[in-house]
A and B are shown apart, each in its own frame.
Chain A
Amino acid sequence: MKLSPLLRGIGGLLVFVLAWEFLIQSGMIRFQYLPPPSAIAIAFNELIATPTMYAEMMHTIGAALGSWVIAAMIGIVLGAALGLSKSLRTYTMTSIEVLRPLPPVALIPVALLMFGFSLKTELFVIAIPAIWPILVGTMGGVLSTSTRLREVARSLKLHRSEILFKILIPAAAPSVLVGCRLSMSLSLVLAIVVEMIGNPEGLGYAVVREAQALNPNLMFAYIILIGLLGVLFNHFLVVASKILLPGEFRRPNSLMGR
């Protein structure tokens, strides 16, 4: 019998969960606060019936997606400008290379002092690091557009706007979208982190809160919820890429993968 790759993947996950259940139920591993999957499943069921969870989830989604949109707008515009202008690169690349490796967590105290416990703090801490993958992807995409394509455009007498919209932007689009995908997972991670140790709201704070309340079942239920959100976010961008770049996506050796 042939199983689809998705079913096989789920099968693998099932084996992992069953092993976890078995190891705990049989007493082979014992931690006071490590519940078996069955207990987490029950807690998860209760969690999705809890109205306050939806407010927390919307808060985290809003912070992650809002910052991601801000980062994408800044990253694409700045990245395209940097890809097109050599003098702009000369003047700004040093600053960018200094800022880029800065651990995002280091921004949290800065943001707290500037914006206090607020959504602004979250947006600041998430958006700035989320700019870099998009900026670098866009700049790289524009820069690596082959000189041959530029010559083709010249020899076909395309106008400047045509070169931008028909050659440079589509040629850069795959690496822009790869940058956007990296940024999106980074946004969710940072939203959780900043809610844990910065602004006490949303799903990140909920995990900490349940842990401090010695409520591991619910804590794990929240963690699973966050994991599902991550899968959903990634899936959203994969689907968006397929719609935006129908040809690119089917091309072998494509940056977009499958």
Chain B
Amino acid sequence: MVPIFELEDVSLSYELAGGARNVLRNISFTVSDGEILTFCGASGTGKTSLLRIMAGLTRQTGGTANFRGAPIDGPANDVAIVFQDYSNALLQWRTVGRNVALGIERTLKGTELKDRVMDALRLVGLEKNVNDYPWQLSGGMQQRVQIARALALKPSVLLMDEPFAALDAMTKASLQDELLNIRDKTGANIVFITHDIEEAVYLGDRVAVLRGTPSTVEQLFDIALPKPRNQITTRELPEFLALRHQIHDAIGGHS
């Protein structure tokens, strides 16, 4: 079976005034159908750059990056991206409903469009806020709107760039569970970037650790924790704590 993503020996460097800056080197991994792959690493390890390559927003400078067997050449049709900075990513002059409709209103009309928007909003629990403007909502709700906009496309893959990093701990926990729920309901594959080790373990079926400058995949961890996951019990499991420890060491953290 063809993997969803297949990256081989991918590298990325920018030409800057003071010379080239290498961001990524020898990145190789695959994403297979049905899994949540989380990337974890310290800041500045090129996590976002890697996601942008997968999203088709940045082109790698070396190696091959394939999506469903074909080289990535711009944003693909059933791949949706959720950015970290929700307030920049939402159209402040459009209501929640019309933000969610942005990607589908060209192809869908009338009740079909309305139903799809409401379905997406229901998945993130915002069906009552369809007529609000983004600036009337809390940060967590705004990020939900962005997730709903991505889900409205019915994507087979969700690429998420530290989507919960700017949110408080409680909002973050509830959105993590919502995300796992959404995965179960929609069957979407998720590639999730975070610098939060516990989040990476809690959400992931596998965790890839990025390390170094330029960075590469230091280690891949299989997360064999029982499902459905639970914010309290899962996080108390000895396996969870052991993985947290190992990943912490792999990242190269000191504490």
Contact = CB atoms under 8 A, between A and B. Distances in A.
B75 A154 contact: yes
Contacts of B83: 148, 151-152
Given A155-B55, A156-B102, A149 B89 contact: yes
Interface in B134-150: 135, 149
B49 interface: no
Contact of A148 (B89, B93, B106): B89
A250 interface: yes
B133 interface: yes
Interface residues of A, number: 23
A178 interface: no
A149 B81 CA distance: 12
A145 to B, nearest CB: 10
A224 to B, nearest CB: 38
16 contacts: A148-B83, A148-B85, A149-B91, A151-B83, A152-B81, A152-B83, A152-B102, A155-B56, A155-B75, A155-B80, A156-B149, A170-B93, A171-B91, A247-B92, A248-B92, A248-B93
A159 B106 contact: yes
Nearest to B94: A247
A235 interface: no
A155 to B, nearest CB: 5
A167 B133 contact: no
Contacts of B55: 155
Interface residues of B, number: 25
B32 interface: no
B57 interface: yes
A154 B57 contact: yes
A245 B75 contact: no
B88 interface: yes
Contact of B93 (A155, A157, A162, A173): A173
A166 B95 CA distance: 13
B124 to A, nearest CB: 17
A149 B88 contact: yes
Contacts of B75: 154-155, 157
Interface in A146-178: 146, 148-149, 151-152, 154-159, 162, 166-167, 170-171, 173
A251 interface: yes
Contacts of A152: 81, 83, 89, 102
Nearest to B84: A148
Contacts of A154: 57, 74-75
Contacts of A151: 57, 81, 83
Interface in B187-225: none
A243 to B, nearest CB: 14
